[in-house]
Chain A
Amino acid sequence: MIFRPIALILAVAFAAFSVGQDHDRDLSDLPPLVRKSVLANRTAKYSGVRTVQFKHGPDRVSHIEYVLKNGIKTRIEFPDDSKYKGQIIVDDGHQRLHYFPDRNEIDQEPAHVHETHPMAKMVPDGDRMRPKLTREITDGGILAGWSTQVVIVSDPHGNVVQKMWIEPNSGVVLKRVLFDEVGTQVGYFEFSKINFNPTFAAGDFRIDRKGAVVVTPTMEANRLAAKSGLSAVNVPQSSGFLLENSRTIHPDNTDVLAQTYVGDTGRFTLFQLRGDVNQTRLQRFAHGRLSTYTWRRGGESFALVGDLSGDKLREIARLLGDSSAP
């Protein structure tokens, strides 16, 4: 009987060690400022206002977010003059809830804290396709009233992939800009105000709205599939991946259901449509940076695109009933 508490303690210690290993793996070769920033992503406390802009199809869309962060927990609201006024997003590290007041629904998704720190892309990982990147740190000037250091991340050819302005005392990223392969800015966020001594209220990181319908990603995916006349296909959780979100896109007037899955080893999107998808062309557009896999079943085409290895995608395809997957 005496072994039971000891076993329990050992199990807890091992679990804590494993979690620590997972988050801190291979960070030792990062510069101290960057390492501090990676850790701050899970420990920092602040409230602030940030402008976010990113490419959405051919357009660039931007909006303002009020951000409240307490370690791994985040709450996001929108200004009164925003078209997203009244919407509230809360991510508690386990799940992300997004409340839509006009339709009294709460979209439920897995937490988005996975890999949100930019440096995660610089850490090698077994199944993921990661390019080798280099970084350079210089003075970043003043942002939101705070001195910053800017980290410039480039590919082996010297093409700048992203820039991050970090407040060195807290490690918080105050501004971040992403670039595409030809140096075009594809998205950024920038804090205009930040308070490193925020006051939190008890319910800041909860959404408790009685009467609201909680919409899970699977419900939404199956509803969209039915609307487009497609069969309901979902990757099982046993694969190690969780459905994060789904939406319908309409390239070339074709309804294409896109389901995005995330897991510890990466992310992929499952596309489903009635038309054909050419594997060779799909891989060509992926430029070798992404893996792709396609198959047909029951009059529908399926395509997987992701930053996982090709073997992993084939394994997922097999789970979805593709018997031809080698």
Chain B
Amino acid sequence: MNRKKTQSELDALLKSESQQTIRRVVNSLPEESLSLSWRSDLNERLHKVRPQSRWRGRVARGWKPALGLALAGCLATLIAIRPGVQAPQKSHQIEASLVSTYTDSANVDDLIGPGLAVHEVNDTTRSSDSSTQWTESDLTNL
């Protein structure tokens, strides 16, 4: 009963002239959406004023150097075991080189006939050392 009365009183108040005036004023105000940059500024300010937890501060002071040391250790370990990891790759290079050496040579030989061969390309100085290295036994093989 009491509650009903209060509600009817409130309804009457809301319908009063003063309330209607305020409603009209509020309705006539232009609608504005929140600017994103404003929200961003607000977030940054809130982040700065947020109280830093003591525990986190201690962890950061104590563990950051330890974390750095651990990373450096991992890096050193990786460098140390690197040759072992790369060994198969090196072997791949050998086998690939053998096949490509054969293929290049066969292609060129096939292409040019008696012309300058692949092993003679750039060979204007090959034996600046070799020509003087023939021994007596080499020459007797002629």
A147 to chain B, nearest CB (A): 23
Decide if B111 touches A252 in the complex (CB within 8 Å): no
B40 to chain A, nearest CB (A): 53
A157 in the interface (beta carbon within 8 A):
no
A45 in the interface (beta carbon within 8 A):
no
B128 in the interface (beta carbon within 8 A):
yes
Q: Which parts of A163-219 form the interface with B (CB within 8 Å)?
A: 176, 178, 186-189, 213-216, 218-219
B114 to chain A, nearest CB (A): 4
Residues of B within 8 A of A215 (CB): 134
Residues of B within 8 A of A52 (CB): 111-112, 115-116
Count contacts on A: residues with CB < 8 A to the other chain.
75
Decide if A249 touches B97 in the complex (CB within 8 Å): yes
Decide if A96 touches B114 in the complex (CB within 8 Å): yes
Decide if A223 touches B113 in the complex (CB within 8 Å): no
**A282 with B106: in contact, given A54-B118, A84-B116, A116-B113 (CB under 8 Å)?**
no
Decide if A290 touches B108 in the complex (CB within 8 Å): no
Decide if A290 touches B115 in the complex (CB within 8 Å): no
Residues of B within 8 A of A178 (CB): 107, 110-111
A245 in the interface (beta carbon within 8 A):
yes
Interface of B is mostly: helix
B48 in the interface (beta carbon within 8 A):
no
Interface of A is mostly: strand
B122 in the interface (beta carbon within 8 A):
yes
Residues of A within 8 A of B (CB): 52, 54-57, 61, 63, 65, 67, 74, 76, 83-84, 87, 89, 91, 96, 98, 100, 102-105, 107, 111-113, 115-116, 118, 121, 176, 178, 186-189, 213-216, 218-219, 223, 244-247, 249, 251-252, 254, 256, 258, 260, 267-269, 271, 273, 275-278, 281-282, 284-286, 290, 292, 303, 305-307
Cross-chain pairs A/B with CB under 8 angstroms, 30 sampled: A52-B115, A54-B107, A54-B108, A54-B112, A76-B114, A76-B115, A83-B124, A89-B116, A91-B113, A103-B127, A116-B113, A116-B114, A121-B110, A178-B107, A178-B110, A187-B107, A188-B111, A215-B134, A219-B141, A223-B138, A244-B109, A249-B97, A251-B94, A251-B96, A258-B102, A282-B99, A285-B99, A285-B100, A303-B98, A306-B102
